Amino acid sequence: MSEPIDEGIVQVRGLAKSFGAVQVLHGIDFAVQPSQVVVIIGPSGSGKSTFLRCLNGLETAEAGTIRICGHSLVEHGRMIGDTQLNQLRTDVGMVFQSFNLFPHLSVLDNITLAPRSLRKLTARQAEDEARALLQKVGLEHKADVYPGTLSGGQKQRVAIARALAMHPQLMLFDEPTSALDPELVGEVLQVMQTLAAEGMTMLIVTHEMNFAQEVADTVVVMDHGRIIEMGPPSQIFSAPRETRTRTFLQAVLSRQSVVS
Amino acid sequence: MTLDFTPVWQSWQSLATGALITIEVTASALGLGCVLGLLVGIGRLKPQRRVIFGICTAYLIFIRGTPLLVQLFLLFFGLPQFGILLPAFLCGVLGLGIYSGAYISEIVRGSIQSIDAGQMEAARSLGMPYRLAMRKVILPQAFVRMIPPLGNEFIALIKNSALVSLLTIDDVMHEGEKIISVSYRSLETYLVIAFIYLILTSATSFVLRRTERSLRANGRV
């Protein structure tokens, strides 16, 4: 589908990507406005994560154009150089399914490492900011422990704080709660909800349909490397236009109601 | 036949001096080997960088595929044909260092590649350049994993250093040969020499075990 793309914090046009012979993204057109919270849903293998990873250059797009936070990331299939890419990434926070905290560093050092070397903060400034961020995610008492001693939910909250420490304009979440025990999902979603309320622009790949319903401005449905449907959650969840969306939602929602 | 250690004891001073030289040769070679190993190991991380990868791989194939003794003799007896006359000690250090560098490079490469790819992705996603991420995130973790295989490599190096006695270096092995040449007490002398090597290797593995344990403390890595 092709919606008109206006100026925004994220603009994607004709994004295509394949792994070997398998094409995983077929010409994605997409835009996000500042302070928007966009949730991307879709069956496994639909290209959601790959799409998200293209937006901060972890995957190399093959065709199309991507503009993020005023930077041009991909211009007609050509990616910018490493130096510019590093610059862009400081504006785009990324939160991974598997947290990827640095196990050899304390929680505090996990958060201050990048700001100290990239934003040229003094140790003192970086630490003050980090402690403030830890307070925000409710973990100020964990500043000096190592990630190995944290629960999954705590790790993910630290990972969010670490990404926020670079003062990003945009946050990408790649299935942030999928690796968590069910009882730990809530604390992470809570933090994300607070972020959204503060006006952070967020792009979230998730299977948490309740969260999508409550927090998202826009829900994007992907299937087989294409955006098949896009709209406000009320429309997507109660009156989806596409049969594939309906089938997917039925499968997910029936499972979630069985679980709860 | 009776064992008579008297001639060996009488020469304990030269054996001690020899042991010191063995330690000097090995430690210097170790330093060289670690530097080479780190560079070559990192050089072999990305096959896409053809030239660097090619040079590093050629080095690895040649050094691992030929005997250490031949490599030492090439340096000591071969290079003079080009007018390059290196002191024996330097030849020994170069030979052993270049040799162990090849093995250490594989330890370095393996340890780096064993670190979860998500670590590099997380560091790069924060905007850290590749080298910074390598230095601050990947290498500190990889280093802990390198210690056990490095310990084996260090011990192998200590034992291999006996070969430098053939380059006229007065290491503990060479001092032993001298004792034998005047006393004909081969068994006793070699037993004592074996014991000296045993002490050196045991001390090394003890120190490495302690280092690893302290690095692994706090359940960090």
Q: For residue B183, what pLDDT is reported? A: 86
3-state secondary structure of A25: strand
Residue A217 to residue B98: CA distance in whole angstroms: 62
B128 chain-A contacts, CB cut-off 8 A: 86, 113-114, 117-118
Searching chain A, which residue's CA lies closest to the CA of residue B141? Answer: A104
* Residue B39 CA: distances (Å) to CA of A17, B52, B103: 34, 10, 12
3-state secondary structure of B86: coil
Cross-chain Cβ contact B137/A102 below 8 Å: yes
| Interface check B219 vs A, CB under 8 A | yes
- Predicted TM-score (pTM) of this structure: 0.85
> Torsions phi, psi of A205, nearest 5?
-90, 120
| Interface check B127 vs A, CB under 8 A | yes
Residue B45 to residue B55: CA distance in whole angstroms: 13
CB A36, CB A217: distance < 8 Å = yes
CB A212, CB A219: distance < 8 Å = yes
174-203 in B: which are within 8 Å (CB) of A? none
Tell me which amino acid residue A35 is: S
CB A107, CB B144: distance < 8 Å = no
Q: For residue A2, what pLDDT is reported? A: 39
Residue B37 to residue B60: CA distance in whole angstroms: 10
Q: For residue A7, what pLDDT is reported? A: 64
CB A1, CB A54: distance < 8 Å = no
Strand partners, A15: A28
Cross-chain Cβ contact A118/B220 below 8 Å: no
Task: Name residue, tokens 């090995």.
Answer: B26
| Interface check B218 vs A, CB under 8 A | yes
User: Which one of A85, A91, A100, A121 makes the best mutation probe of the B interface by having the most chain B beta carbons within 10 Å?
Assistant: A100
B122 chain-A contacts, CB cut-off 8 A: 94, 96, 100-102, 159
A58 chain-B contacts, CB cut-off 8 A: 121, 124-125
| DSSP secondary structure letter of residue A80 | P
Alpha carbon A200 to chain centroid, angstroms: 12
Q: Read off the pLDDT of residues A72-98 as tens digits, 9 standing for 90 and up.
A: 999 988 899 999 999 999 999 999 999
A201-205/A37-41 β-pairing: parallel
Cross-chain Cβ contact B127/A100 below 8 Å: no
Q: Listing from the earlier edge strand, what are the strands of the sheet with A37-41?
A: A92-95, A170-174, A201-205, A37-41, A218-223, A226-231
Pair of tokens at residue A199:
């006006």
Pair of tokens at residue A241:
């236009």
Q: For residue A146, what pLDDT is reported? A: 94
3-class SS string, A199-224: CCEEEEECCCHHHHHHHCCEEEEEEC
Task: Return per-residue pLDDT of chain A as tens, 260 residues.
Answer: 334 444 689 999 999 999 989 999 999 999 999 999 999 999 988 999 999 999 999 999 999 999 998 889 999 888 999 999 999 999 999 999 999 999 999 999 999 999 999 988 899 999 999 999 999 999 999 999 999 999 999 999 999 999 999 999 999 999 999 999 999 999 999 999 999 999 999 999 999 999 999 999 999 999 999 999 999 999 999 999 999 999 999 888 887 665 54
Q: Assign residue A202 a region (left: φ > 0; alpha: ψ between -120 and 50; beta: otherwise).
A: beta
A174 chain-B contacts, CB cut-off 8 A: none
Cross-chain Cβ contact B128/A117 below 8 Å: yes
Q: For residue B172, what pLDDT is reported? A: 87
Mean pLDDT, 10 residues at a time, over chain B (221 residues)?
81 89 94 96 93 96 96 94 91 96 96 96 96 95 91 93 91 88 88 94 91 71 52
Q: For residue A257, what pLDDT is reported? A: 63
CB A127, CB A108: distance < 8 Å = yes
Average predicted confidence (pLDDT) for chain B: 91
Q: Read off the pLDDT of residues A228-257 as tens digits, 9 standing for 90 and up.
A: 999 999 999 999 999 999 999 988 888 766
Tell me which amino acid residue A257 is: S
Q: For residue B209, what pLDDT is reported? A: 87
A170-174/A201-205 β-pairing: parallel
Could you tell me which residues come within 8 angstroms of residue B170 by beta carbon, excluding any fewer than 6 positions away? B17, B18, B21
Cross-chain Cβ contact A104/B221 below 8 Å: yes
3-state secondary structure of A132: helix
